[in-house]
Copies of this chain bind each other. A is one copy, B any other.
Amino acid sequence: MKIEEALHMVGGAGENSYASNSRLQEKAILRTKDIVEKALTNIYGEVVPESLVVADLGCSSGPNAFLVISQIMGAVIGSKAKEIMFLLNDLPGNDFNTIFQSLSGYEKKFKKEKGDQVLPYYVAGVPGSFYGRLFPANSLHFAHSSYSLMWLSQAPVGLESGGVPLNKGNIYISKTSPPIVSRLYLQQFNRDFSTFLKLRSQELINGGQMVLSFLGRKSSDPSEAEVCHLWGLVAQALNSMVHEGLLKEEKVDTFNMPFYGASTDEVKQVIQSEGSFYLDQMQILESNWDPFDDSINEDQQVFDNVKSGENVAKCIRAVLEPLIVGHFGEAIVDQVFERYAKNVAMHLLKEKTKHVVFILALKTKKVKN
């Protein structure tokens, strides 16, 4: 199954849906507010589009898709914009129907909150991978992407070469992975992020801006990244099921996350060598694994590790379930995430690991004819 078909957030609005389990991503969006406002001010400093065209790349379904709309609508109040077109993009398997059917409810909410200041706005859904072209040339003023660019277009090519899985027992880079695994992951990230920048520079007008936030890592060694634990604990759940004869070992050996947590240097390197954008600003945020743990102290204790384990598992399930089901089938999915919740709980006793989120503001460099 192609990643483009398998990778999407859990649809609908049920208990396991992304819509109900996306607080982590919500927090990241809220924390980009100032950067988004500055980017929009910059756009209006250079060009004066009466109709501002904004793309949200990897919009998902559920409240976060609307949070982005709401944030941008708030940011342009008082500017020269007269109307806004929002182009909400995600992979074709994303639940666009749920977004579209919830729009009128959100519209009422905006109008109640912001009254007459709300500009006329239009919404379209754009299905497709952002590693391909999505929009006509020079048609966007502002592109936004939150919690999406750590997803690769595919698991690195070469991890399964000649029928021999190189990353046995793992589903992502780990301390036990041979060095070539990290190299293949980095190569895939470089290709994908570079493609992303090139395509967006074609779609953005001269003077257009982007604000991107995605998971990264603080360490230069990719096997020491915080996300290695995140996926390592999923691998641990899968391996325990292999051990008990519930899953075939080769199924785990051939499953590799289409995901990469880059370092700041790796990100800057791609931006520079691709060459279409200036990096205007880069911030690093940290966010507790448990989306409901808002404590900001540096202390290494998690208050209730069992509850936090369950919270993390729910949040990861809303994102990972379609990929797990695509590779392993429907039957095992409940068990995987039950075991995962316990593994996370155990891990949090040892270390209050955090997500590392990069926020980038980028400006088009090109000079157009």
A residues with CB within 8 A of B: 50-51, 53, 82-83, 85, 87, 92-97, 100-101, 103-104, 120, 122-128, 133-139
A208 to chain B, nearest CB (A): 15
Nearest neighbor of A83 in chain B, beta-carbon distance: B136
A89 to chain B, nearest CB (A): 9
CB pair A136 B100 closer than 8 Å: no
Partner of A139 from the list B85, B100, B127, B133 (CB cut-off 8 Å) is: B85
A12 to chain B, nearest CB (A): 11
A120–B137 alpha-carbon span in the complex (Å)? 11
Pick the most buried of A104, A120, A127, A128: most chain B CB atoms within 10 A of its CB. Answer: A127
Residues of B within 8 A of A53 (CB): 136
CB pair A100 B96 closer than 8 Å: yes
A120–B199 alpha-carbon span in the complex (Å)? 13
Residues of B within 8 A of A97 (CB): 95-97
Partner of A100 from the list B103, B123, B125, B133 (CB cut-off 8 Å) is: B125
Nearest neighbor of A124 in chain B, beta-carbon distance: B124
- What are 23 A-B residue pairs whose CB atoms fall within 8 Å in the complex? A51-B137, A51-B139, A53-B136, A83-B136, A83-B137, A85-B135, A85-B136, A85-B139, A87-B124, A92-B103, A93-B101, A94-B100, A95-B97, A97-B97, A100-B125, A101-B127, A120-B133, A122-B126, A122-B136, A123-B126, A123-B127, A124-B125, A125-B127
A50–B139 alpha-carbon span in the complex (Å)? 11
Pick the most buried of A96, A100, A101, A126: most chain B CB atoms within 10 A of its CB. Answer: A100
A125–B90 alpha-carbon span in the complex (Å)? 12
CB pair B92 A100 closer than 8 Å: yes
A38–B104 alpha-carbon span in the complex (Å)? 37
Nearest neighbor of A91 in chain B, beta-carbon distance: B100
Residues of B within 8 A of A137 (CB): 50-51, 82-83
Residues of B within 8 A of A133 (CB): 120, 122
Residues of B within 8 A of A96 (CB): 96-97, 100, 125
Residues of B within 8 A of A94 (CB): 100
Residues of B within 8 A of A127 (CB): 100-101, 103, 123, 125
Q: A82-B137, A100-B125, A103-B128 are in contact. List 5 more A-B contacts (CB 8 A).
A: A101-B127, A122-B133, A123-B127, A123-B128, A124-B125
A197–B272 alpha-carbon span in the complex (Å)? 49
Nearest neighbor of A101 in chain B, beta-carbon distance: B92
A329 to chain B, nearest CB (A): 20
Residues of B within 8 A of A124 (CB): 87, 124-126
A87–B139 alpha-carbon span in the complex (Å)? 14
CB pair B85 A104 closer than 8 Å: no
Residues of B within 8 A of A51 (CB): 136-139
Nearest neighbor of A90 in chain B, beta-carbon distance: B100
Q: If A126-B124, A137-B50 touch, does A104 touch B83 (CB 8 Å cutoff)?
A: no
Nearest neighbor of A84 in chain B, beta-carbon distance: B136
A137 to chain B, nearest CB (A): 6
CB pair B92 A104 closer than 8 Å: yes
